[in-house]
Structure 1
């Protein structure tokens, strides 16, 4: 299965902006030279997304072809525009590029867990539905407490689910994979949120681009994913009791699974 990169046109009220390149909204650019430089960076990033996604879907086609049966077609410009309007924040260029290649998997998909070690990519409809559910839970649990973490830089920890968090991966449990849309150096980083064990701590990956490349390399080169995260988590733990861990893929009974390994 081939995947190709494309610049996704996004209608957004009066600005009708194209996909936001890294570092700011397209409408904020004032000089032709700056515009070309930043768009070149975005195109390189989006090309990497397309290449990684092609490797991942190619691996599925060869090893777990039933995994592609419920892969949704690419999100439409209107769906992406609706997502950005609902979030009220700029979306990372690589997230838009990924949605321009697929819109998640249907709930019937039963091929295992594509994103280590628990997650199946969501479509936009489920992203927004789960986000609203979690916002409702936060409002009931903390009705009078201001969520100061909303103003913290992207990638910083939060016990609470924040408006700036966009779910992108479903585990079928209380855990969610999400993109952090707060501003800052790590805008667009990817983390996990667990209602039962302290919310969000540190990013798993610093971008969608990094996540997809890590998964693609793990599947096609048979090497552990999340090695860098394991080392960061180990270094951040005051009294670590285990060595850094990564996650290696394996197939069991027609399903993709991940096992923890030392790195």
Structure 2
């Protein structure tokens, strides 16, 4: 429940000035509380008793004898020890000690508060820049040679490799946690996209789906016999694709964002087509190691390599390419980041430029 509300809190408290104001308010409250707790009750401090004036000469009860000097150190009756002048330095030291303890406690409390506030800000509200988020989670991806040789058997025209790649999984579904750093990095890019869509393409913004369930993702992984990369899972846990509404759904370049069920069903359908004329790993037609994440409605798909985790496309004629518009995209997080950059800056990603018509986002092809 708390985890589900954090994205809303982050969007609400997105301004650094608002966070600083909240931190200042909390600091003031803590300082006042510490001062009140450390303040001694009235009259608790040791007060210096005024020196008792000597009794008037000849007054009743006086031991002084007229015509006789009073011995040094002797005092009036009832005060054989003389005046309490020696108590004054001790009382002053006690007052100073209490003040030092009081203000020392305030300083320590402020230091603890500063460090705690900074830690909370980094953990909850930080929008850290993660230049290589695709390397965060899970064991390092195998090299191109080892990954291709171990994950995809050699192909021939009979389609044997496609059958191996597309063999349904037999594992029991198991929910895997996403690295928190990956989640923060992906959510940061989604916040940028969401803010831009809300301000410039509200119809498309309304088509963003609620989060997918982690259990649903685990079931799809088990049925496909694949593992979704961490940044893809984090994205689906933010938005489970887009709800198509008269062509106004979210498109990344020319591809409609797909939900978990569509990903699984499209993977099964493409696996049923076979390998065709594939001549090697990632060369030629469809491979079962690919995860379709977007579709343009004409038989072309945006895909993520489940092993190398980079983003590519498969065409309606069976070709596969991992350069989108002449640009290599190393991860799904990088795809989101490039999309957010293009939206905010009005730029391009490869050969595509975002345009808005009637509150709906679309992409146009830029000719060089």
Aligned to 1:48: 185
TM-score (norm. length: structure 1): 0.66
Larger RCO, structures 1/2 (Cα 8 Å, 6+ apart)? 1
Q: How far 1:113 sits from its partner (Å)?
A: 5.3
Aligned to 1:222: 346
**SS of 1:135 mapped into structure 2:** helix
Structure possessing the higher radius of gyration over alpha carbons = 2
Asked whether the 8 Å contact 2:294–2:302 carries over to 1, the reply is yes
* Greater CA drift, 247-256 or 172-181: 247-256
TM-score (norm. length: structure 2): 0.49
Alignment of 1:99-178 (within 5 A): 99-108=236-245, 110-111=247-248, 114-116=251-253, 118-138=254-274, 142=276, 149=280, 152=281, 157-178=282-303
Query: In structure 2, do the counterparts of structure 1 residues 60 and 3 end up closer, same or farther at CA, with 3 Å as the change threshold?
Result: farther
Q: How far 1:79 sits from its partner (Å)?
A: 0.6
Stretches of structure 1 that go unaligned for 5 or more consecutive residues are: 7-19, 26-40, 227-245
Alignment of 1:208-219 (within 5 A): 208-219=332-343
Query: In structure 2, do the counterparts of structure 1 residues 102 and 55 end up closer, same or farther at CA, with 3 Å as the change threshold?
Result: same
Aligned to 1:258: 363
Tell me the alpha carbon deviations over residues 77-118 of structure 1, each in whole angstroms, 9 at most, x when there is no partner.
Answer: 1111112112222221101110110101123353265211x1
Aligned to 1:200: 320
Stretches of structure 2 that go unaligned for 5 or more consecutive residues are: 1-6, 11-122, 124-135, 142-177
Bigger strand share: 1
- CA–CA separation in structure 2 for the residues paired with 1:3 and 1:70: 22
Aligned to 1:238: none
Query: In structure 2, do the counterparts of structure 1 residues 108 and 188 end up closer, same or farther at CA, with 3 Å as the change threshold?
Result: same
- CA–CA separation in structure 2 for the residues paired with 1:132 and 1:171: 17
What value does the CA root-mean-square deviation take over the aligned residues?
2.8
Aligned to 2:233: 96
Alignment: residue pair count: 198
After TM superposition, what 4+ stretches of structure 1 lie above 6 angstroms from structure 2?
Answer: none
Asked whether the 8 Å contact 2:267–2:292 carries over to 1, the reply is yes
